Amino acid sequence: MIVHQVGVKFQRFSRFSTPSVTHAHIRSYQEADENAVVALWSACGLIVPQNDPRKDIARKVADSPELFLIAESGGRLIGSCMAGYEGHRGWINYLAVHPDFQRQGLATRLMSEAQQILIGLGCPKINLQIRRTNPTVRAFYESLGFTEDEVISMGIRLINDSLP
């Protein structure tokens, strides 16, 4: 599968400071969030057969839980952003906003929070991958300043995480 890999060098974006979803609270992931996070990712079409989301969550919590953000409103989990940083680049995975709350600025708020945490860790650049079949998500990231890098993304599966 060919995907776009995009990256952005850090800049302070004024659009990050003007969210339109003011009622949502962004916090760190907690163990009790697991079922709601999996349901959110399912509602957003992020779950694929080759990745067990519960295993992805367990690995993130074991590695760097401070980079796993949750957005909630009225006790309901409505968004997530799983970021990573390995010392060279930051990565964004599982950015999700429940369909009922999309296009209200929440994804931008989640990205801003993740960016601030990554800046605090000394991260110089964020990368992410987008399927070519998803122009809406590409346009969203471009609106945040991300641009396509001239790279080919390659991978090799080391563990079979297929869903049961």
Domain boundaries, the chain: 3-148
Residue closest to 37 by CA, chosen among 95, 83, 92: 95
Q: State the Cα torsion 135-48-89-154 to the nearest 10°.
A: -90
110 contacts 95 by C-beta, under 8 angstroms? yes
Does pTM top 0.85 for this prediction?
Answer: no
What would the CATH number be for the domain defined by 3-148?
3.40.630.30
Q: What is the pLDDT of residue 12?
A: 42
Run of H or E including 125: strand 125-131
4: confidence class by pLDDT, cuts 50, 70, 90:
very low
Q: What is the pLDDT of residue 50?
A: 86
